[in-house]
Amino acid sequence: MNGPFPEAQRGLLASIGHLLTVDSVRVYRRPKIVHDAIWGTCEYDPWEAGLLDLPLLQRIRGLKQTGFAYLTYPAAEHSRFQHVLGVTHAASRVFDSLRRRRDADGVSPRAKQNKGALSEILDDRLASRNRVLLRLAGLVHDLGHSFLSHSSERIFGLIPPFPDLIGEVLRQHDKKPGAAEVVVYLLVTSSEWRDVVGRIWERCSGPGTPPTEDEWARIGRWVMGIEPEGPKKFLCDIVSGPVDADKLDYVARDAYFAGIPIAQDVDRFLSTVCIDRQTNPETTKEWWRLTLPLQKGINALEQLVMSKLVLYSYLYHHQKVRAAELTFERNLAREYLTQGRILGIEGVWDLFHVQDAHLYAVTGGRPGHNRAADVAYRVLPRRVVEFREQDVTLEEPDRARSIQEYRRLSSLSRPKSWDQYHQLLTYEDSLARQANLPDSSVIVDFPADPDYGDLESLVLPGRSPHEQATAKEHLSYGDWIQAYNKHRVYNRVFYFGDEKSLERLWTVLAEDFGARKLRLPERLQMWR
Amino acid sequence: MEQRRIAVEDLLALALQAAALSEGKERGEVWFTEEPATLHATLKGIRDRYQHVFPDLAELSFSGEGAFPYSPEVRQILGNLQLDGVIGRRNPSFDRFSPNIFAGTKQVVNDELRALFAEDPDGQKAFADLVEELRGKLIVKTG
């Protein structure tokens, strides 16, 4: 990719180059066995074990997978490192299952009509190469994260050159990747990365030659969910798609480490997942997609969606998790807008050699002078009020105007640019000042619609070549999600302050909402 | 043609409400299909045709690597509009959505359109065409 990519790549490599040293990489002759909490005994090939020794991969041991969730669920301290091991294992399990069942139900009836296209991918010699690439994609897919994972990604994704990089991918591929995925692409398409992998490959007796420049570019695209070759699209789907190895791992892992019981029958999923051939009506191009069959795969899909819904309800939307994430994000945004840096880090590329522990370093072990970093010490705001749309909008004849104002407020609190962050922080500070509180004491939170990962794009093939349905047509998950949105997604106002300031803030909020044709009924006060 | 800055979510909210109102139902329900292939293909066409007038439409991505174009941003926008009370999905199967039309919605929409296009007949025309396209391709039932 051209445009802003070459310069960004130079910037990234200049900042993380010191983590690409092979000095600490041991020589592996045999596969390495790892016991994982989710997948049990997992095997990693010698060159994979060598890669895992790289300081760049060891770094992600220090990035918590679920950000600040551990402040609420103490055991949720699992790392990105554990997750990439799981995804690597899961990716090859999916691939192996498809290969093993390629003459049976691993390939849908209409995909079987053009089996030749798949032989280039699933036949013995090429299959082993594709399996190697898939597992490497699993190993590298999260190397673009910085401290506290998605909490910082929402901020650094707005710092130049990320908007330009994402815009370039959008222009070229009609796909909007996450900022962390773009970092992975920049890394794995660099000559420095290829050189390091080549040396590890040699040391650890990798099969054949290490991945070529083209193969690394393909891995980088897979991580962003892009595969221009129709027959290979299902490989990309295994890495990043509606039912990918990433989801298989993190749904089970996040629930397990948070201590939230969920039912996810991975064996059933692996025995039903299949390749389907789908035709884009606009371009008439054929795409081989990873999906689940209509009749046999519904249960596995249902479990996956339900598990994610439970995770939103218990974990991702938990009020203390939101309080921690938003305190962190708002204060990172404030620091960037006023000082052009985040947590003291000036250059955006320097974010990719730090770990979560950077927060403790910023506080110097003495919380009290940096609100973003203090979150690590669980210095969190309290709820003033929590509400849903139906709780605060007015009835007729003011209903239309009231909903319009509600929407303006919710849009304001879901910033997508620095201008919008500036407007939001100004609004929150104005509330704080009116309540005689210092700036950055008030946070207004309207969570966005939960992300279930492109499930609506999933097409489920039937028993005959012409039978198919979207997931939505055959699953009631749409009902669950919409009901969850309507009744369980709460907006909140948080504040830092004492009991006295709470009284003042309540009055200020009631006035502000009143001016917006919204109401704050007494019953909505949580902790007054 | 002059370019107008209006966030995609705001543009779609306004266009859906305007389309429902233009069915002549100031109260009552106008249902739009949420069947993924029709919905996403229609909005992709709208993005491609109107982004020179409303440049923020270019923020929508539509992956064409499957049976129909698909935009995760469209899915999220509809979810946000539901959370915000702009649309409802009260029907049993949730395969349709309906803009919530109240007594004052027409006035609210007209006020917004005036603020956006008061001295901009080209923008007004483009918006009207966009609304017509939504009506023609997505409305499945009025009642």
Question: What is the band of A3 on the pLDDT scale with cuts at 50, 70, 90?
Answer: confident
* Model ipTM value: 0.94
Inform me whether the C-beta atom of residue A108 falls under 8 Å from chain B C-beta atoms: no
Q: Is residue B94 predicted with pLDDT exceeding 70? A: no
- Can you tell me which residue has the tokens 């198919």? A468
- Find the closest chain B residue to A169 by CA distance: B61
Yes or no, beta carbons of A280 and B68 under 8 Å apart:
yes
Rounded average pLDDT over A336-355: 96
Q: Is residue A527 predicted with pLDDT exceeding 60? A: no
Which token pair is A431? 């509330």
Q: Is residue A528 predicted with pLDDT exceeding 60? A: no
A163-215 residue pLDDT tens? 999 999 999 999 999 999 999 999 999 999 999 999 999 999 878 899 999 99
Helix axes B36-50, B72-83, angle to 10 degrees: 100
Q: Is residue A263 predicted with pLDDT exceeding 90? A: no
A309 vs B89: CA distance, rounded Å:
18
Yes or no, beta carbons of B72 and A406 under 8 Å apart:
no
Which token pair is B56? 């923020």
Predicted local distance difference test score (pLDDT) of residue A526? 64
Which residue in the set B65, B68, B102 is minimally distant from A281, CB to CB?
B68
A503-520 residue pLDDT tens? 999 999 999 999 999 999
Q: In what order do the strands lie in the sheet with B87-88?
A: B87-88, B96-99, B30-33, B139-142
Question: What is the band of A1 on the pLDDT scale with cuts at 50, 70, 90?
Answer: confident
Beta strands in chain B (DSSP E): 30-33, 87-88, 96-99, 139-142
A125-176 residue pLDDT tens? 789 999 999 999 999 999 999 999 999 999 999 999 999 999 999 999 999 9
Inform me whether the C-beta atom of residue A281 falls under 8 Å from chain B C-beta atoms: yes
Inform me whether the C-beta atom of residue B31 falls under 8 Å from chain A C-beta atoms: no
Yes or no, beta carbons of B80 and A448 under 8 Å apart:
yes
Tell me the average pLDDT of chain A: 94
pTM of the model: 0.96
Q: How far apart are the first and last CA of chain B?
A: 38
Worst-scoring range by mean pLDDT, A197-211, A293-307, A353-367, B24-38? Answer: B24-38
Question: What is the band of B26 on the pLDDT scale with cuts at 50, 70, 90?
Answer: low
Measured between beta carbons, which residues in chain B are less than 8 angstroms from residue A230? 65
Other CB atoms within 10 Å distance of the CB of residue A189: 21
Inform me whether the C-beta atom of residue B108 falls under 8 Å from chain A C-beta atoms: yes
Instruction: Calculate what percentage of chain A has a pLDDT beyond 90.
Output: 82
Q: Are A355 and A18 in contact (CB under 8 A)?
A: no
Q: How many cross-chain Cβ pairs, A to B, lie less than 8 Å apart?
A: 138
Measured between beta carbons, which residues in chain A are less than 8 angstroms from residue B72? 176, 451, 454
Instruction: Calculate what percentage of chain A has a pLDDT beyond 70.
Output: 99
Yes or no, beta carbons of A175 and B75 under 8 Å apart:
no
Predicted local distance difference test score (pLDDT) of residue B2? 62
Sign of CA dihedral B100, B103, B108, B111: positive
Q: Is residue A478 predicted with pLDDT exceeding 90? A: no
B89 vs A195: CA distance, rounded Å:
54
Inform me whether the C-beta atom of residue B55 falls under 8 Å from chain A C-beta atoms: no
Greater confidence, A278 or B95? A278
Alpha-carbon distance B70 to nearest alpha carbon in chain A (angstroms): 6
Q: How far apart are the first and last CA of chain A?
A: 55
Predicted local distance difference test score (pLDDT) of residue A386? 93
- Can you tell me which residue has the tokens 């690439």? A133
Alpha-carbon distance B59 to nearest alpha carbon in chain A (angstroms): 8
Q: Long-range contacts made by residues A406-412, C-beta under 8 angstroms, separation at least 24?
A: A406/A516, A406/A518, A406/B84, A406/B85, A407/B13, A407/B84, A407/B85, A407/B86, A408/A516, A409/A444, A409/A446, A409/A516, A409/A518, A410/A446, A410/A491, A410/B80, A410/B83, A410/B84, A411/B7, A411/B9, A411/B10, A412/A444
A62-97 residue pLDDT tens? 999 999 999 999 999 999 999 999 999 999 999 999
Question: What is the band of A124 on the pLDDT scale with cuts at 50, 70, 90?
Answer: confident
Peptide bond into A161 cis (omega under 30): yes
Predicted local distance difference test score (pLDDT) of residue A114? 87
Q: Is residue A34 predicted with pLDDT exceeding 90? A: yes
Which residue in the set A281, A285, A403 is minimally distant from B85, CB to CB?
A403
- Residue from A389, A456, A470 to probe the interface with B (highest B Cβ count within 10 Å): A456
- Can you tell me which residue has the tokens 């773009």? A182
A405-429 residue pLDDT tens? 999 999 999 999 999 999 999 999 9
Greater confidence, A282 or A401? A401
Alpha-carbon distance A454 to nearest alpha carbon in chain B (angstroms): 6
